[in-house]
Chain A
Amino acid sequence: MTDAQLLNVLLLAPLLNALLMFVINFSFKNVKQFIYTFFALLGSGVSAIVAIYIAFINYSEHKLLVSHLFTWLDISNFSVEVSLRADALGSFMILFVAPVSFLIHIYATGYMDKDKSYGRFFIYFNLFVFFMLLLVLADNPILMFIGWEGVGLISYALIGFYIEDVKNTYAGNKAFILNRVGDFGFLSALMLLFVMIGDLGFSFDAIFAHLIGVDSSLLSFIALLLFVGAMGKSAQIPLFVWLPDAMAGPTPVSALIHAATMVTAGVYMVARFAPLYNMAVDVSLFIAYIGAFSALFAAIVATRQYDIKKILAYSTMSQLGFMFMALGVGAYSTALFHMFTHAFFKALLFMGAGVIIVAFHHKQDIRELRGIRYSVPFVFLMMFIASLTISAIPPFSAFFSKDAIMSTLFASGHFDIFIMALVASLLTAFYMFRMVFVLFFSEKYQEVTQKSSKTMFYPMGILTLLTLFSGFWNLPEIFGGNLNISHWLHLADKSATLSHETEFLLMLGNTLLIVGVIYYAYKKYAYADGIEQEKQIDFLTNKFYIDEIYHVLIVKPLGFVSLFFDKTISAFLIDKSINNLAFLYGKLGKLFSRIENGNVRFYALYILFGVVFGFIYLYLLLGAFL
Chain B
Amino acid sequence: MLKSYMILSIILFSIGVVGLISRRNIIVIYMSIELLLNAVNLSLIAISADLGESSGQIISLIIIAIAASEAALFMALFVVLFRNRGSLDANLFDILGEKHD
Contact = CB atoms under 8 A, between A and B. Distances in A.
Contact of A596 (B29, B95, B97): B97
Contacts of B17: 604, 608
A601 B95 contact: no
Interface of B: 17, 20-22, 24, 29, 90-91, 93-98, 100
Task: Give the interface centre of B21, B90, B96 by most chain A CB atoms within 10 Å.
Answer: B21
A605 B100 contact: no
A499 interface: no
A349 B4 CA distance: 125
A597 interface: yes
Contacts of B20: 601, 604
21 contacts: A593-B97, A593-B98, A594-B98, A596-B96, A596-B98, A597-B94, A597-B98, A598-B93, A598-B96, A598-B97, A598-B98, A599-B90, A599-B93, A599-B94, A600-B93, A600-B94, A601-B20, A601-B21, A601-B24, A608-B17, A608-B21
Nearest to B98: A593
Nearest to B29: A601
B65 to A, nearest CB: 25
Contacts of A605: 21
Given A605-B21, A608-B17, A597 B90 contact: no
A600 B22 CA distance: 11
Contact of B91 (A593, A594, A599): A599
Contacts of A593: 97-98
Contacts of A600: 29, 90, 93-94
B56 to A, nearest CB: 21
Task: Give the interface centre of B93, B95, B98, B100 by most chain A CB atoms within 10 Å.
Answer: B98
Contacts, number: 37
Give the secondary structure class of A's interface: helix
Task: Give the interface centre of A593, A598, A601 by most chain B CB atoms within 10 Å.
Answer: A601
A598 B95 CA distance: 6
Interface in A557-616: 593-594, 596-601, 604-605, 608
Contacts of B24: 601
Contacts of A594: 98, 100
Chain A interface size range: 10 to 19
A381 B97 CA distance: 98
Contacts of B21: 601, 604-605, 608
A433 B23 CA distance: 111
B94 A598 contact: yes
Contacts of B91: 599
A626 to B, nearest CB: 13
Given A604-B21, A608-B17, A608-B21, A597 B97 contact: yes
A372 B95 CA distance: 95
B53 to A, nearest CB: 23
B90 to A, nearest CB: 6
Contacts of A598: 93-98
B31 to A, nearest CB: 14
Interface pairs A-B: 6 shortest CB-CB: A598-B97, A598-B94, A598-B96, A597-B97, A599-B94, A593-B98
B80 to A, nearest CB: 16
Nearest to B99: A598
A601 B91 CA distance: 8
B43 to A, nearest CB: 15
Interface in A302-334: none
B29 A599 contact: no
Contacts of B98: 593-594, 596-598
Contacts of A601: 20-22, 24, 29, 90
Contacts of B29: 600-601
Given A598-B95, A601-B21, 8 more contacts: A594-B98, A597-B98, A598-B98, A599-B94, A599-B97, A601-B20, A601-B22, A601-B24
A600 B17 CA distance: 13
A62 B95 CA distance: 102
A604 B28 CA distance: 14
A600 B20 CA distance: 9
Contacts of B90: 599-601
B71 to A, nearest CB: 18
